[in-house]
């Protein structure tokens, strides 16, 4: 099996030395309605990925998935050094290796070729984030009760994500669940799928092959 584009219009264009990437976002993908959008449809654009990936790098976020971008982008270390010194990450500061060159195009300049980047871009940590919606959710999170979804609902949504007939953004609009959450449910389902068929002895004796699982998740999971 191979990776195929999801929110991207095509697979990344990669330079011969593996250090320059161009990723073109498919036009016409819209986010689930959110009060932050003030009644207007909000289209997915390249800047949403730039912001999201900067959040992974932001020291204050303390992302558990920092390793997928840490040390990858040209110019990121200078911005991070200032963030550590000031205690605040400047999201407006340009990073040479992480740019949107137009509304639908991302350009990445890597410090060195990275054979793992493509599969890393299929993980929930690389999902797009809209700054205004994130700010609103942060302000309201303490006032709004947490939604509890049944196991049956989570399984149905995760299976829909694995089938890949719709993008995570489209599924988020359909099920009224954030795309990042859907990606996490899909990841959990893929990680635990083998348990359904394992014998009692296999469940007791077999340790997880994390490298193999990540490879399968990269193949079946959220597509670049």
Rounded Cα gap, residues 93 and 99, in angstroms: 11
With a cut of 70, list the residues of the chain below it in pLDDT. Answer: 1, 132-147, 198-224
Rounded Cα gap, residues 31 and 33, in angstroms: 6
Predicted confidence at residue 139, as pLDDT, reads 38
Which tens digit of pLDDT belongs to each residue from 66-111?
999 999 999 999 999 999 999 999 999 999 999 999 999 999 999 9
Tokens of 61: 């976020």
Predicted confidence at residue 184, as pLDDT, reads 81
Predicted confidence at residue 171, as pLDDT, reads 84
Q: CB–CB of 117/110 below 8 Å?
A: yes
Q: Which residues pair with 100 in a beta bridge?
A: 106
Predicted confidence at residue 96, as pLDDT, reads 96
Predicted confidence at residue 143, as pLDDT, reads 38
Predicted confidence at residue 182, as pLDDT, reads 85
Q: CB–CB of 71/90 below 8 Å?
A: no
Rounded Cα gap, residues 162 and 149, in angstroms: 19
Predicted confidence at residue 107, as pLDDT, reads 97
Predicted confidence at residue 2, as pLDDT, reads 75
Predicted confidence at residue 90, as pLDDT, reads 94
Predicted confidence at residue 207, as pLDDT, reads 56
Q: Where do we find the tokens 């699982």?
A: 213
Rounded Cα gap, residues 128 and 45, in angstroms: 9
Q: Where do we find the tokens 């893929």?
A: 190
Predicted confidence at residue 188, as pLDDT, reads 85
Helix (DSSP H) and strand (DSSP E) numbers for the chain: 9, 4
Q: Long-range contacts for 164-167 (Cβ within 8 Å, ≥24 apart)? A: 164/4, 164/6, 164/223, 167/6, 167/7, 167/29
């Amino acid at each position: 099996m191979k990776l195929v584009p999801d929110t991207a219009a095509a697979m990344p264009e990669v330079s011969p030395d593996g250090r320059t990437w161009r990723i073109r976002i498919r036009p016409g993908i819209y986010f689930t309605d959110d009060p932050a959008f003030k009644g207007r449809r909000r289209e997915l654009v390249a800047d949403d990925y730039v912001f999201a990936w900067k959040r992974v790098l932001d020291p204050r976020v303390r992302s558990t998935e920092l390793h997928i971008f840490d040390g990858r982008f040209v110019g990121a270390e200078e911005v991070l050094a200032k963030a550590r010194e000031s205690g605040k990450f400047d999201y407006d500061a340009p990073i040479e290796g992480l740019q949107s060159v137009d509304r639908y195009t991302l350009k990445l300049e890597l410090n060195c070729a990275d054979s793992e980047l493509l599969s890393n871009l299929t993980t929930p940590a690389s999902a797009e984030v809209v700054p205004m919606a994130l700010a609103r959710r942060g302000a309201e999170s303490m006032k709004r009760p947490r939604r509890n979804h049944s196991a049956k609902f989570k399984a149905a949504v995760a299976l829909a994500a694995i089938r890949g007939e719709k993008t995570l953004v489209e599924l988020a609009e359909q099920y009224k669940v954030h795309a990042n959450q859907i990606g996490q449910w899909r990841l959990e389902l893929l990680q635990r799928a083998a348990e359904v068929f394992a014998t009692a002895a296999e469940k007791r004796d077999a340790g997880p092959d994390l490298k193999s699982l990540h490879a399968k998740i990269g193949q079946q999971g959220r597509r670049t």
